[in-house]
């Protein structure tokens, strides 16, 4: 447990600044338990890739811990560092992966960037993911492509047959506008739309153009109207961009196939061994892979004044940022790896166009090196959050298609295994990338979490408790707050029945609404660090501590006894934000089922 070991993270409690100027002296702090064997403490920080060691000073001592501090210069854009604790019989290293009584490599060093922080508004944000065809329909008559298969609004998606991807339910942006009050009342502050570009599928990841909104969704005018209305309510809108590929109906690939001497020919990878002649995402002809060796393509996508990336960040659309589809695959092909050039290029122009825009990438298999601070601000945190939580909270899962990409059923994790997986992820990325990553229990690409827990409302709510209190930017897939189900990706893309609300889990909605409010109004949950306090098979507890507030979050997955001594770490209960009434210096009792507690703390008066 972190409270029994030395601790440091990238939050404001431990750094005088997480975005210094080059050459600036930064104060680094670390805390050690009172009984930890230590005589001297040091920071080891790289300067021009050479390690430099600075001795730390003991700045405070209490009955339960010591605080150490040192000021060291940051002379490179990225500074890697870790701490050395020397005792009478040996030494320990502390890095982002934990504490070790032996030498370690620099792979999991803490990292600080001499670069402005991620957009600060994301700290208190809660996003709502909308799959445009399935959220709400305005009822307006649209000219539907002949190859689309119309469905009644309250039908279930079929999936797993030839209609997958072309089922048309008729959701549109005007429908979202009509239900914007519902979204606002839930308390979310941002909407993340899966692609809204015209395409040959209703999934729209096969864009036939990146320059306009699909007329089936209401066209550009619908997005402009929605953006204006959302802005008045303080709701930001974020788009989804496929930098890895376009659609087979896109004029780029059509011209490239027609004219081998065209500039567009260089936008793609060509291979005579492939039946359709060009590389596609997962080999699909419908999704031609983009080749960023083409400077012209780079200009069109991000580099030019009127590029795709820039266009939608400006008036009259005012997008708050981009989610990049399969960001880990973008620019990577066989012996070529242009990924870093692409992501840094996109980030640079976004910083120029709107430094407040958020750039988050899907990185499903998780390449830690992609989160180096100079490209994507963060990732969709499947590996470091969703998957561990699925494994810990799952109960008689009603899930098809394996464990999110693995040919195996959803595993059963202990509390320790879940936390170890989270810490493994956290140790591989900078703190700034962790807190700028999108948290999710599920998405349009996965089973619904209500299915993962076999329909258990209490376990679903335990997952929501984790989602809305863990470091990162929570994202709720539309309908999750109503108990919507789905056994796999396409099945999860169900519509919301707005006419018959008797199908809704209203009590669950209200509880989620309460958690969202707590998240938005808690300084510790928005800005605090992360220390694990107790890790058991059936419950976990962690501290979120900022310079203004400290809270402890307890999440149980089943009936269990909870015993946590807060006095041992210098805290007592200051109030309960969520959960049963408690006072004193201990969290003690027995849950009847899965449960969530969020408890405000103050320093012990004893």
| Domain end marker among 86, 113, 140 | 113
How far is CA 159 from its chain centroid? 27
Q: In sequence order, what are the beta bridge partners of 512?
A: none
**Per-residue pLDDT tens over the stretch 387-442:** 999 999 999 999 998 888 788 999 999 999 999 999 999 998 999 999 999 999 99
- Residue 550 located in a structural domain: yes
Q: 561's torsion region: left (phi>0), alpha (psi -120 to 50) or beta?
A: beta
- Residue 537 located in a structural domain: yes
Torsion angle, alpha carbons of 6, 12, 13, 14, to 10: 40
Torsion angle, alpha carbons of 570, 573, 574, 577, to 10: 130
- Residue 146 located in a structural domain: no
What are the helix (H) ranges across 429-472?
431-435, 449-452, 457-467
- Residue 477 located in a structural domain: no
CB neighbour burial string for 473-489, b if at least 16 within 10 angstroms, e if fewer: bbbbbbbbbbbbbbbbb
The bridge status of strand 586-591 relative to strand 332-333 is unpaired
Q: How many CB atoms lie within 10 A of CB 252?
A: 23
- Residue 17 located in a structural domain: yes
Token pair, residue 278, equals 């060009």
- The pTM (predicted TM-score) of the whole model is 0.97
The pLDDT of residue 38 is 94
- Residue 326 located in a structural domain: no
Distances (CA, A) of 437 to 9, 123, 211, 431, 443: 16, 10, 27, 10, 14
Q: What is the spatial distance between Cα 318 and Cα 145, in angstroms, rounded to a whole number?
A: 29
What are the helix (H) ranges across 394-501?
415-428, 431-435, 449-452, 457-467, 489-492
Residues of the chain with pLDDT under 50: none
- Residue 106 located in a structural domain: yes
Residue 20 DSSP symbol: P
Which structural domain, as residue segments, surrounds residue 572? 525-603
Q: Which of 1, 12, 3 is nearest to 33 (CA)?
A: 3
**Looking up tokens 């997005």, which residue turns up?**
223
The pLDDT of residue 178 is 98
Q: Give percent of the chain above pLDDT 70.
A: 99
Measure the N-to-C terminal CA separation of the chain; round to a whole number of Å: 24
Q: What is the DSSP string of 207-222?
A: BS-SSS--GGGTHHHH
**Per-residue pLDDT tens over the stretch 284-297:** 999 999 999 999 99
Q: What is the spatial distance between Cα 67 and Cα 478, in angstroms, rounded to a whole number?
A: 44
The pLDDT of residue 606 is 67
The total number of structural domains that make up the chain: 2
Listed in sequence order, the residues at least 6 apart from 507 whose beta carbon sits closer than 8 Å to its beta carbon are none
| Domain end marker among 80, 113, 146 | 113
Q: What is the spatial distance between Cα 562 and Cα 340, in angstroms, rounded to a whole number?
A: 46
**Per-residue pLDDT tens over the stretch 496-533:** 999 999 999 999 999 999 999 999 999 999 999 999 99
Q: Find out whether 464 and 186 touch, Cβ atoms under 8 Å.
A: no
Distances (CA, A) of 421 to 311, 384, 543, 574: 39, 6, 18, 31
Helix (H, G, I), strand (E, B) or coil at 545: strand
The pLDDT of residue 369 is 83
Token pair, residue 349, equals 């122009």
| Domain end marker among 89, 113, 137 | 113
Listed in sequence order, the residues at least 6 apart from 326 whose beta carbon sits closer than 8 Å to its beta carbon are 242, 244, 281, 362, 364
Q: Find out whether 365 and 424 touch, Cβ atoms under 8 Å.
A: no
CATH number at residue 594: 2.60.40.1180
Q: Which of 464, 458, 424 is nearest to 441 (CA)?
A: 464
- Residue 377 located in a structural domain: no
């Amino acid at each position: 447990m972190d409270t029994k070991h030395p601790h440091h993270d990238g939050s404001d409690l431990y750094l005088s600044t997480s975005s210094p100027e080059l050459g600036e002296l930064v104060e680094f702090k670390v805390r050690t338990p009172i009984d930890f064997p230590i005589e001297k403490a040091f920071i080891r920080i790289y300067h021009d890739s050479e390690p430099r060691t600075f001795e730390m000073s003991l700045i405070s001592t209490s009955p339960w811990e010591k605080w150490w501090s040192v000021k060291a210069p940051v002379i490179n854009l990225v500074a890697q560092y870790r701490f050395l604790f020397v005792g009478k019989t040996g030494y320990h290293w502390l890095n982002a992966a934990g504490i070790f009584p032996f030498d370690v490599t620099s792979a999991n060093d803490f990292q600080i960037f001499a670069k402005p922080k991620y957009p600060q508004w994301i700290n208190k944000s809660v996003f709502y993911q909308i799959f445009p065809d399935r959220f709400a329909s305005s009822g307006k008559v649209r000219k539907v492509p002949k190859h689309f298969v119309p469905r009644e609004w309250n039908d279930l998606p079929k999936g797993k047959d030839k209609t997958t991807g072309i089922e048309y339910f008729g959701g549109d942006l005007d429908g979202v506008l009509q239900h914007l009050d519902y979204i606002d009342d839930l308390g979310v502050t941002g909407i993340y739309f899966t692609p809204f570009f015209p395409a040959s599928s209703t999934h729209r990841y096969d864009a036939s153009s990146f320059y306009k909104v699909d007329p089936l969704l209401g066209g550009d005018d619908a997005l402009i109207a929605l953006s204006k209305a959302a802005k008045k309510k303080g709701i930001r809108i974020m788009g989804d961009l496929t930098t890895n590929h376009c659609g087979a109906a896109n004029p780029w690939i059509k011209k490239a196939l027609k004219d081998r001497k065209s500039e567009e020919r260089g936008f793609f990878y060509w291979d005579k061994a492939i039946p359709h002649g060009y590389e596609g995402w997962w080999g699909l002809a419908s999704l031609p892979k983009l080749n960023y060796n083409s400077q012209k393509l780079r200009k069109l996508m991000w580099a030019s004044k009127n590029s795709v990336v820039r266009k939608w960040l400006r008036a009259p659309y005012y997008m708050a940022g981009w989610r990049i589809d399969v960001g880990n695959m973008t620019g990577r092909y066989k012996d070529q790896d242009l990924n870093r050039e692409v992501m840094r290029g996109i980030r640079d122009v976004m910083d120029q166009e709107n430094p407040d825009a958020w750039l988050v990438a899907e990185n499903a298999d998780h390449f830690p090196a992609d989160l180096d601070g100079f490209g994507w601000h963060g990732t969709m945190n499947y590996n470091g959050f969703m998957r561990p939580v699925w494994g810990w909270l799952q109960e008689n899962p009603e899930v098809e298609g394996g464990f999110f990409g693995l040919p195996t059923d959803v595993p059963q994790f202990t509390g320790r295994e879940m936390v170890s997986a989270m810490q493994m992820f956290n140790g591989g990325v900078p703190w700034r990338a962790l807190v700028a990553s999108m948290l999710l229990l599920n998405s349009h690409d996965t089973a619904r979490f209500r299915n993962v827990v076999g329909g258990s409302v209490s376990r679903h709510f335990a997952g929501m408790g984790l989602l809305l209190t863990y470091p990162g930017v929570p994202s709720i897939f539309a309908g999750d707050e109503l108990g919507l189900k789905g056994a796999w990706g396409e099945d999860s893309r169900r519509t919301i029945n707005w006419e018959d609300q008797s199908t809704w889990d209203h009590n669950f909605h209200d509880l989620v609404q309460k958690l969202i409010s707590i998240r938005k109004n808690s300084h510790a949950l928005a800005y605090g660090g992360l220390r694990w306090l107790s890790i058991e098979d059936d419950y976990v507890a962690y501290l979120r501590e900022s310079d203004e507030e400290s809270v402890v979050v307890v999440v149980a997955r089943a009936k269990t006894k909870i015993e946590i001594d807060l006095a041992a770490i210098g805290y007592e209960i200051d109030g309960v934000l969520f959960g049963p009434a408690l006072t004193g210096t201990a969290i003690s009792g027995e849950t009847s089922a899965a449960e969530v507690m969020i408890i405000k703390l103050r320093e012990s008066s004893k």
